[in-house]
């Protein structure tokens, strides 16, 4: 919902991960983004990127980020193209596992500058990197699949095991971060206030883009 409005912030975070982790696979990036947002929601009531994470076989995936990096699909608002092109370079390599299968890696582009992030957000990214930066993609997937995780709960609630085993690796089910703060009224108030503020500024931003088209 807020991807276009927060594109520069998300791009800054992705570039930082790519600058700190070399090589950085797409799968690992997607897991680090999720871990960052889940941790922020637990600690403050609100995520950092406000990306929408879908429940896929190999863990939570922000669909818009995946589609752009994996398939080159750009987001458009009016005549404006919204992308991460100013922040990262996408590298595609033959996986060597089976014909036509590729692996996707991300390299940082431009200066790794975190000045647009808050002190809390910078500290959070550093903590995520310290705890998870050296884990490989498979280890991160296993971590997010643990019993009791939001991904695990969603798979059980929507009975996605069979779907993943027999049919496809994706689903339209969305991770609900509000489950993390359902027993904390103060956190819920903070989340609602932040959402309303972001929605207002997103509307102003998109109106300006439309007018500038």
**Residue 181, token pair as written in the block:** 């703060």
Q: pTM value?
A: 0.94
**Residue 121, token pair as written in the block:** 């957000």
In sequence order, the β-bridge partners of residue 61 are 54
pLDDT at 62: 97
Q: Residue 97 falls within a domain, yes or no?
A: yes
Q: Give the domain extent around 159.
A: 7-212
Q: Residue 187 falls within a domain, yes or no?
A: yes
pLDDT at 213: 62
Q: Residue 1 falls within a domain, yes or no?
A: no
Radius of gyration of the chain (CA): 17
First to last CA, the chain: 20
Q: Residue 94 falls within a domain, yes or no?
A: yes
Q: Residue 64 falls within a domain, yes or no?
A: yes
Q: How many domains does the chain have?
A: 1
pLDDT at 79: 83
pLDDT at 100: 63
Q: Residue 2 falls within a domain, yes or no?
A: no
Q: Residue 205 falls within a domain, yes or no?
A: yes
CB 56 within 8 A of CB 170: yes
H helices of 133-184, where?
Answer: 137-144, 150-157, 161-162
Sign of CA dihedral 140, 142, 143, 144: positive
- Per-residue pLDDT in tens (0 to 9) along the chain, 213 residues: 899 999 999 999 999 999 999 999 999 999 999 999 999 999 999 999 999 999 999 999 999 999 999 999 998 887 889 999 999 999 998 766 666 678 999 999 999 999 999 999 999 999 999 999 999 999 999 999 999 999 999 999 999 999 898 899 999 999 999 999 999 999 999 999 999 999 999 999 888 887 776
pLDDT at 1: 84
Q: Residue 156 falls within a domain, yes or no?
A: yes
> Which residues make Cβ contacts (< 8 Å) with residue 75, sequence separation at least 6?
3, 4, 7, 64, 68, 81, 82, 83
3-state helix, strand, coil in the chain (%, to 5): 55, 15, 35
- In degrees to the nearest 10, what's the CA dihedral of 192, 156, 2, 87? 130
């Amino acid at each position: 919902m807020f991807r276009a409005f927060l594109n520069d912030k998300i791009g800054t975070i992705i570039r930082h991960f790519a600058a700190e982790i070399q090589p950085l696979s797409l799968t690992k990036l997607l897991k680090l983004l999720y871990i960052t947002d889940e941790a922020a929601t637990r600690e403050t009531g609100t995520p950092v990127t406000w990306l929408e994470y879908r429940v896929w076989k190999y863990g939570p995936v922000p669909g818009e980020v995946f589609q752009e990096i994996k398939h080159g699909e750009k987001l458009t608002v009016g005549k404006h193209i919204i992308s991460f092109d100013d922040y990262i370079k996408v590298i595609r390599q033959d996986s060597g596992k089976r014909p036509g299968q590729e692996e996707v890696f991300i390299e940082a582009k431009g200066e790794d500058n975190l000045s647009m992030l808050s002190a809390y957000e910078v500290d959070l990214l550093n903590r995520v990197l310290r705890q998870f930066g050296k884990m490989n993609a498979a280890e991160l997937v296993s971590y997010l699949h643990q019993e009791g995780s939001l991904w695990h709960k969603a798979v059980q609630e929507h009975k996605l095991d069979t779907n993943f085993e027999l049919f496809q690796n994706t689903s339209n089910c969305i991770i609900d971060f509000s489950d993390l703060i359902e027993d904390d009224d103060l956190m819920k108030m903070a989340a609602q206030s932040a959402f309303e503020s972001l929605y207002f500024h997103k509307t102003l931003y998109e109106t300006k883009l439309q007018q500038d088209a």
